[in-house]
Amino acid sequence: MNRQGYPSDVTDAQWAIIAPLLPNPNKVPGGPGRPPADLRLIVNGIFYQAKAGCQWRLLPHEFGPWQTVYDYFNRWSRDGVWAEVMEALHRLERERQGRAPEPMTGSIDSQSVKSATQGNAVGFDGGKQTKGRKRHLLVDTLGLMLTVVVMAANVGDRAGLKQLLRGYFDGATRWLRKIWVDGGYDGVPLKAWLARVISPSIDLDVVQRPSSGFHLVKRRWVVERTFSWLFNDRRHSKDYEVLTRNSEAMIQAAMIHLLARRLA
């Protein structure tokens, strides 16, 4: 590429991993007759926007028209491309570390963040005193994200867990058998729902946080670390997206960038 690069740009090795997983570059937004965009430039623009935390309209001109970059991001969000690419890279990274492609254990937690838009699904989390949205994450024991759901901040953790697991198990063969959670997910009704709707072979293991002082909570600290990884991208300091599916896609893109760096 004939331009000065940014730290957020993918390297040749990283692009060689990501490119085969993206849709056909000839199927571009805008209808027939429009020349295909440079997908590497598009992806670099999206990663730059996430890392810098700027508005779409403030993307540097080197990435092309900001409308084109956003159009790709939005369409791939709508079509589930980000989730598919993330899952493919997740399997490759687990294999690289000598693990089975499909995890058998994981951890779930949520994080409330302020919302910077007047988009849909915005609420007030009384416990965290935060008006905005809540991110629900399911990660494996390496802290690598399996799936994400973004909801209004006033939606309870148990409702978030249900939607998270419905999406993860929907139409797919999964080997997940144990999930570590905190006390907010405790209760017989939730475990009964899990056995009835998802699978009776999944154990929901509640790991209680110590009553005082700072401690790394056994088994659950990995998901806390995953949330900290997200904050390496300034875009995730708040929820800036109008649509919750785009909030989820931006988080998936951040994990894709992380996985590509590790795999390369």
| CATH number of the domain residue 148 falls in | 3.30.420.10
pLDDT of residue 218: 64
Enumerate residues 6+ apart whose C-beta is below 8 A from 78: 245
Considering the domain boundaries, does residue 145 fall inside one? yes
User: Domain containing 199: what range?
Assistant: 101-236
pLDDT tens sequence across 184-215: 898 899 999 999 999 999 999 998 766 655 45
* pLDDT value for 216: 54
Neighbours of 42 (CB within 10 A): 22
137 found inside a domain: yes
**In a domain? residue 152:** yes
Domain assignment present for 202: yes
- State the Cα–Cα distance between residues 94 and 259, nearest whole angstrom: 10
Q: Is residue 83 one of the residues assigned to a domain?
A: no
> Does 61 map to a domain?
no
pLDDT for 233 equals 95
> Strands 145-152, 178-181: parallel, antiparallel or unpaired by DSSP?
unpaired
**How far is C-alpha 171 from the geometric centre of its chain's CA atoms?**
19
pTM: 0.91
pLDDT in 10s for each residue of the chain, 264 residues: 456 789 999 999 999 999 999 997 665 555 555 667 899 999 999 999 999 999 999 999 999 999 999 999 999 999 999 999 999 999 999 999 999 999 999 999 999 999 987 777 899 988 889 999 999 999 999 999 999 999 999 999 999 999 999 999 998 889 999 999 988 898 899 999 999 999 999 999 998 766 655 455 567 789 999 999 999 999 999 999 999 999 999 999 999 999 999 999
Identify the pLDDT of residue 98.
96
Classify residue 138: in a domain, yes or no: yes
Any domain includes 247: no
Question: Number of structural domains, the chain?
Answer: 1
